[in-house]
Amino acid sequence: MNDTSYSSVEGKVMLVTGGTSGIGKAVTQVLCEQGASVVFTGRNETAGNATSENLTRDGYDCHFVSADLTEPEGVTRIVDTCLSQYGRLDVAFNNAGIFDNAAIFHEYSDTNWDQMISSNLTSIFLCMKAELEIMVEQGDGVIINNASVVGHRATQRATPGYVASKHGVIGLTRQAALQYANSGIRINSISPGPTFTEIQQPLVDRGADAVAEHLSALNPRSQFVSTEEIAEIIIFLSGTAPNMLTGQDIAIDGGQMYKL
């Protein structure tokens, strides 16, 4: 990756939710390396503290906040940290979410539905409310929500709750972008396809042919999306994107969404 593409985040105060693993952890690392001050959150306090210690030891500016974002108190704690440490919030990447295994609609439990909507949709609603309050007062800011390619279509690989929650994330993005279009705030979402994170390592260890076989039914390139590619899009949306780019969802999926 070309370092010059990341210059737009240097000096920015950025919030990353779900930053203790997967996409969020990788994006937190890249943002720190490119000069941003990062507050990141997660439920895994041990993993979060370890990541924070490693980044701080390497000279980067970051703070970990353990928080359950399905609860207003957790959301308040993270935005208060941004304000107490830095006095502002320039960019929020609302990434935290969960996935559950595929289940047929009429067998999907009410409990699983409630958990999925709470973790993947209500949490983003609560975060956006708190972030927007700060950004309206500032007169500027950027919000980026992590949706999914299944936020645009159905899939046999996930549950009704997951698909509905990701459709909802895109809906929240569009509604907020409309309402704050003249407030100096840009609000967009991204829709990654299957992404290479630590959970995919066993498949990758089996070799390129195994990866291609697994992904060939999903996207035309038969490759994982890399977390570096996602970070590059986050940084573009954070700084160098034009002011008129708001209310959009950017699919990062190797053409998966348009494959019949």
pLDDT, average across residues 190-195:
86
Residue 201 pLDDT greater than 70, yes or no: no
- For range 92-103, the mean pLDDT: 91
- pLDDT per residue as tens digits for the range 132-164: 999 999 999 999 999 999 899 988 888 999 999
pLDDT band at residue 4 using 50, 70 and 90 as cut-offs: very low
- Check residue 255 and give its pLDDT: 83
Q: What is the per-residue pLDDT for 1?
A: 44
Residue 22: exposure state from Cβ atoms within 10 A (0-12, 13-18, ≥19): buried
Of the listed ranges 26-40, 50-64, 152-166, the least confidently predicted one is 152-166
Q: Which of 108, 162, 180, 258 is catalytic?
A: 162
Q: What is the pLDDT of residue 100?
A: 86
Q: What angle do CA 53, 58, 64 make, to 5 degrees?
A: 30
**254-259 mean pLDDT:** 80
**Model pTM?**
0.92
- Alpha carbons 146 and 166: distance in angstroms, whole number: 8
Q: How confident is the model at residue 211 (pLDDT cuts 50, 70, 90)?
A: low
Counting residues of the chain whose pLDDT is more than 90, the rounded percentage is 75
Q: d(Cα 97, Cα 116) in Å, to the nearest integer? A: 8
Q: Which amino acid is at 37?
A: S
Quote the pLDDT of residue 126: 98
The answer to whether 236 and 142 have CB atoms below 8 angstroms apart is no
**Which listed CATH number (3.30.300.30, 3.90.420.10, 3.20.20.330, 3.40.50.720) goes with 3-196+224-258?**
3.40.50.720
pLDDT at 260: 55
Q: Do 89 and 83 touch, CB atoms closer than 8 A?
A: yes
Residue 221 has pLDDT above 70, yes or no: yes
| AA letter at 113 | W
Query: What are the sequence ranges of the domains in the chain?
Result: 3-196+224-258
Distance CA 80, CA 165 (A): 27
For residues 38 and 41, give the distance between their C-alpha atoms in angstroms, rounded to a whole number: 10
% of the chain exceeding 70 in pLDDT: 93
Token duo for residue 79 = 């935005």
User: Residue 39 forms beta bridges with which residues?
Assistant: 15, 63
Query: In 7-50, where do the E strands start and end?
Result: 13-16, 37-42
Q: Can you tell me the mean pLDDT for 213-237?
A: 84
- Count of CB atoms within 10 A of residue 101's CB? 9
Catalytic residue flag (residue 162): yes
Spatial contact of 82 and 39, defined as CB atoms under 8 Å apart: yes
List, in sequence order, every residue forming a beta bridge with 66; answer none if it has no partner.
Answer: 42
